[in-house]
Structure 1
Amino acid sequence: MSTTATTAAGTTTANATADTDTGTAGTPAAGPGTPGPEAPTRGALRALLPALAAHRALTARTCAAALLEQGSLVALLTLAAHTVGTAVLDGRAPSAGTVTALLALVTVRALMTWREMDLSHDLAYRVLAVLRVRVFDGLARSAPARVAGRRSGDLAATAMADVEALEFFYAHTTAQLLAAGTVLSGATVVLATVEPWLVAVVAPVAALLAAAPFADARARAARGGRTRTAVAGLSADTVETVDGLRELLAFGALAERRRALARRGRQVGRAQRSEATWETVAAAARDLLIVLAALGVVATVAHSVTSGRLHGAWAPAALALALSVLGPVAESARALSQAVALRAAASRVRAAVRAPALAPPPAAPRPLPPGPLGVRLHEVSFGYGGAPVLDGLRLTVPPGRTLALVGASGAGKSTCAHLLARFWDPSAGAVQLLPEGGDPVDLREVDDAELRRAVVLVGQDTPLFHGTLAENLRLAAPDADGSELAAAARRCGVDRIAPLDTLVGERGATLSGGQRARVALARALLVRPRVLVLDESTAHLDNAGDARLATALAAEGRTTIVIAHRPATIRRADRIAVLRDGRVAEEGTWEELTARPDSALNHLLATTPS
């Protein structure tokens, strides 16, 4: 996970959903629209088949096991029926070879049933493990725009529940369909040799069984989509309920929340019952087709025996062969019907996996020169699909200087921070890093890993992971030793919170907002960034704590951009830039700007609570 994404995970989601600087939730004009839950799309299941390519050997073994399992069953039933027919009509006991063959088929059938289940599930879970990573990579690649407006429970449903639902497709559909088709083809050739009229009975029924899942595919996919949407909604509501449990208890709203969860549960129940009802009807239709096929096969065999085309001893074998091949076809039709219902889950997974990068990697990365780095936003324009938030913005921060970026809500401060972290690329202009000596380097030319080491964004709300303080700090620098952790903790006052081996709880639930801010800053400093962007990250600290932290950060000598509303924080910056209407309205030191009675900074300070 990238350092910037780690230190600013909360900011990314929160600001993309309700950006206090932009006043709008949406997607930049340069990127794709913010998606909701994806509707079922044609070809969604076929698009999942290439995932098997990385497991060709295992896929081949799974198909072979399924073929042997189904083929041995058909052969066993056919041979057993022929043995019984011979014994009854010809009065001959089965030979030693026949008994041996029957025992061998029983053994093969048992072993292959176990082996096919073992291999198919091994294959399925290997594919799902890769899919989960690809889904996460897709979400990370397209964040924050893709997660804008999406609830965390809904995203979790895509990343976990939807992927898990596809286990059925990989474990119970692909190999079984191939095996059933092969067995049916082979049995049809044998039936055509024994009694061609049996093919005329079996083939239409097999075709109807195979076509049935596709006849109701659209409605089945829609029902599956409703179920997946209902489950995602229940997941989102449940996650939000757990996250907000303290607030619900404090305001006496828990009972209403329980009723809302109950309504969600009933929606899931209705959707699942609808799926189950239609599946029951489909199963009954398949059984009816097999019964009709059985009647037709019996009539055909009886007519063949009475007309002398088929020897009586072969009649039971012909019956068994004709009917046994329909079993795998019917089972495959059932599996395919259930797979079609997974099209909504497959669509959501495919959309996440194929999500385009809003900040594509450079074709030929340009290395950053050593030493301090400044920042320049040159003629930068950017918008979220509506009016531009930044319009030809020009802003330069020399290496080693501290700039306070201020402005009214919606002025574009957090948007500047996100562009500096390259969550998005500007629609016009360039965001550049300025070496002390040398040419500016466009962020689009820098490798992502190197950019994350050079530029770190720390947001106002940075959730922590369940674990110790040390584990949360090491997210930014996994190889950091104890002395490095202690030094970063000391600089940011984390050592005064608790020992580093203290568990902080889910999302840092055991810590206050100010304590979480200190942990986030310490985590960022472990990377030793050359450019540090603080987006209201000290807002939860009191004035004294903010001042001590500012003193510690100033001693680092790096380029720092501080987005803040607190006058004391703004005053400590080397220079101040006031944003208005997507541009820099004025820039200067605290003394220069506050000395002007009509300055935008004075107006802003007068209208902003301390």
Structure 2
Amino acid sequence: MTTTATTPVTADADAPARGALRALLPALAAHRAMTARTCAAALLEQGSLVALLTLAAHTVGTAVIEGRAPSAGTVTTLVALVLVRALMTWREMDLSHDLAYRVLAALRVRVFDGLARSAPARVAGRRSGDLAATAMADVEALEFFYAHTTAQLLAAGTVLTGGSVVLATVEPWLLVAVLPVAALLAAAPFADARARTARGGRTRGAVAGLSADTVETVDGLRELLAFGALSGRRRELAERGRQVGAAQRAEATWEAVAAAVRDLLIVAAVLGVVAAAAHSVTSGRLHGAWAPAAMALSLSVLGPVAESARALSQAVALRAAASRVDAAVRAPALAPPPTAPSPLPPGPLGVLLHRVRFDYGGGTVLDGVDLTVPPGTTLALVGASGAGKSTCAHLLARFWDPSAGAVRLLPADGDPVDLRDVEDTELRRAVVLVGQDTPLFHGTLADNLRLAAPGADDRALAEAARLCGVDRIAPLDTLVGERGATLSGGQRARVALARALLVRPRVLVLDESTAHLDNTGDAELAVALRQEARTTIVIAHRPAAMRRADRIAVLEGGRITEEGTWEELTSRPGSALNRILAATPC
């Protein structure tokens, strides 16, 4: 059995990058009109509240100081402002959440695109629960940023600016009480930004760890029950839950402290405004009837600033989630698309590896591999565990590109075509890789077969199922569990091979895909694979599979050390193939 080397993977957001939240703003560009409507609604909502409070205070001041009842126009205006405030509050909430969920839907697609673009190196070594946390929980956490931060910040800044201009005209001394508090409220989220980010990162990391452990527990439930390890696993999950709870409590505690600080600043502003207004009235610069209105205006423009500071504080704690999402969205393509695609010629295709070198960031795995597989032939690629056989398979499927050399498709007539020059869609039709552990999806057997060829008709489906013995497992409309849990390893292998044959590939790469089959099943599938002329590369450890191949290539030390037929290689004393066979357990 071969083992696949993988790239060491570190967490995407151990140290959230600066500007992680700013990097999320361009996602709004696709929704400019809705963003503008949301900002307008937020501005009207906050502005109407300031106008309502100011007018109401002036009405009360006039009634108390001058003894005049409010006019019909004033009452009508107050009622209208109440209605506008109520309508705009609802409208702003509706628009902001609609906008947020539209952006999140697009972000999820971009995260999945990023994972697909950089797979398998980015996915290899990552726990599926951790990936799910990035794709779902981290993206969902950003709803607060899009729904409660962007439009509110813009509206609060506009209201503060407009209110400050009016106050400067009415009584400049009131600004002395308002502007310092507004500046402190705006700066407070950034003063503790690093600690907030660290606390948010611990929470996101703890949630991702719990998600990963939960997914693994569900997947391995049968094994845990079989070995009596479920109670220990439950204790581990409980500990993970305590870690999440501790991280969330730390965030909530510090947020409560921040809220208390904001309240104290507002109280200081109230005292300052009252003192400034009283001084202005006694000195004759402000009429007594207007004093309540001026105080109401001063404090009402601080309200949106305080609320924005609260929202910004929570948003800063989302930097870890934003960094993880941004890293997934910006994941580089390990096999970038060709700038000038070359079409594949019709007819059978062979394979040519020319001086191929490859490493996973550590030691060299392939070191100048030269291998030619003529069209229509079957090659068995053999070697010790870890020799790089699966790496060759991944290069043929163009999951990665070689660090040096070239992997080419070899037509019967004409020049070879480099895989890097072939469009991905055309390449996936021409070259199909079937791995040892090919997952199935929840659905029917027919659904899983059509995954490779959605347009395949029932006749083609039935033929592929017959060739690989899938029709002997169950009717094609039978539901299989998630990841094919209701099927045995050998049955899943049959489904995976039938799915591959449905594409009618010209090059088929089998990475020990029959390892779960017994000798009889292996032989049956070998017969099925020869029903149609194609180039087949089999990564094999069974002598029977090697015998059936037209040629055998032995991979050692990152190079092809010998090549020939079964008879040629086994008849040589001390050949590399004989050493491998001798070391292979029965």
TM-score using structure 2 length: 0.99
Return the alpha-carbon distance in structure 2 between the equivalents of residues 263 and 21 of structure 1: 32
Q: How far did 1:36 drift?
A: 4.8
What SS does the corresponding residue of 1:43 show, helix, strand or coil? Answer: coil
Among 405, 408, 413, the alignment partner of 2:381 is: 405
* Aligned equivalent of 2:284: 308
SS at match of 2:480: coil
Per the alignment, in what secondary structure is the counterpart of residue 433 of structure 2? strand
Q: Report what 2:125 is aligned to.
A: 149
Give the structure 1 partner of residue 268 of structure 2: 292
- Consecutive unaligned residues of structure 2, counting only runs of 5 or more, are none
Task: Give the alignment partner of residue 349 of structure 1, picking from 318, 325, 331.
Answer: 325
Corresponding position: 1:240 with 2:216 = yes
Tell me, which stretches of 5 or more residues in structure 1 are unaligned? 1-18, 28-32
Alignment partner, residue 176 of structure 2: 200
Q: Confirm whether residue 473 of structure 1 aligns to residue 424 of structure 2.
A: no
Distance in 2, Cα, partners of 1:481 & 1:70: 60
| In structure 2, C-alpha distance between the alignment counterparts of 1:104 and 1:299, rounded to whole Å | 32
Q: What is the number of residues matched between the two proteins?
A: 586
Say whether residues 1:574 and 2:550 are aligned partners.
yes
Residues of 1 paired with 2:571 and 2:497: CA distance? Answer: 33
Q: Which amino acid aligns with 2:354?
A: H
CA distance in 2, matches of 1:488, 1:170: 48
Taking a change above 3 Å as real, the CA distance of residues 37 and 296 of structure 1, as seen in their structure-2 partners, is: closer
Corresponding position of 1:26:
7
TM-score, normalised to structure 1's length? Answer: 0.95
Give the whole-Å Cα distance in 1 for the aligned partners of 2:562 and 2:10. Answer: 34
Q: Tell me the equivalent position of 1:14.
A: none
**What residue number does 2:417 align with?**
441
One-letter code aligned to 2:348: P
Structure 1 equivalent of residue 228 of structure 2: 252
Whether 1:431 aligns to 2:407 is: yes
* Equivalent residue letter for 2:226: A
Counterpart position of 1:163: 139
Aligned partner of 1:382 among 346, 358, 377: 358
The answer to whether the Cα contact below 8 Å between 1:34 and 1:146 also exists between their aligned partners in 2 is: no
2:102 maps to which of 126, 149, 157: 126
In 1, Cα distance between equivalents of 2:236 and 2:393:
37
CA distance in 1, matches of 2:216, 2:472: 31
CA distance in 2, matches of 1:581, 1:122: 57
CA contact (8 A) 1:36 1:150 kept: no
Equivalences for 1:356-367 in 2 at 5 Å? Answer: 356-367=332-343
Asked whether 1:396 is paired with 2:372, we answer yes
In the alignment, the residues of structure 2 paired with residue 347 and residue 384 of structure 1 have an alpha-carbon distance, to the nearest angstrom, of 24
User: What's the CA shift string for 1:550-606, capped at 9, x where partnerless?
Assistant: 111111111000001111111111111111111111111111111112211111111
Q: 1:34 to 1:562 in 2, by over 3 A?
A: farther
CA distance in 1, matches of 2:278, 2:478: 81
- Give the equivalent residue in structure 2 for 1:5: none
Within 2, Cα distance between the matches of 1:339 and 1:500?
A: 50
Letter in 1 for 2:154: L
Q: Residue 255 of structure 2: which of 279, 295, 311 is its match? A: 279
Shift of 1:391: 0.7
Q: Measure the CA separation in 1 of the matches of 2:22 and 2:281.
A: 46
Residue 242 of structure 2: aligned partner: 266
Q: How far apart are residue 463 of structure 1 and its match?
A: 1.1
- Choose 176-185 or 479-488, whichever is displaced more: 479-488
Once the two structures are TM-superposed, the CA of residue 35 in structure 1 deviates from its matched residue by 4.8
| 4+ long deviations beyond 6 Å | none
Give, as a single letter, the amino acid of the residue that structure 2 aligns with 1:85.
G
Amino acid at match of 2:220: G
Q: C-alpha separation between the residues in 2 aligned to 1:39 and 1:529? A: 44
User: Does structure 2 conserve the Cα–Cα contact (< 8 Å) formed by 1:26 and 1:34?
Assistant: no
* CA-CA distance at 1:289 after TM superposition: 0.2
Could you say what secondary structure the match of 1:302 adopts?
helix
Offset at 1:387? 2.0
Counterpart residue type for residue 340 of structure 1? V
Aligned residue for 2:232, secondary structure, equals helix
Residue deviations 1:493-530 (CA, integer Å, cap 9, x gap):
11111111111111100000000011111111111111
Residues 455-474 of structure 1: CA distance to partner in whole angstroms, max 9, x if unpaired?
A: 00000001111111111111
Greater length-normalized contact order (CA 8 Å, ≥ 6 residues apart)? 1
In 2, the alpha carbon distance for the partners of 1:34 and 1:407 equals 30
1:34–1:223 Cα change, 3 Å = closer
Determine helix, strand or coil for the equivalent of 2:392: helix
1:609 aligns with 2:577: no
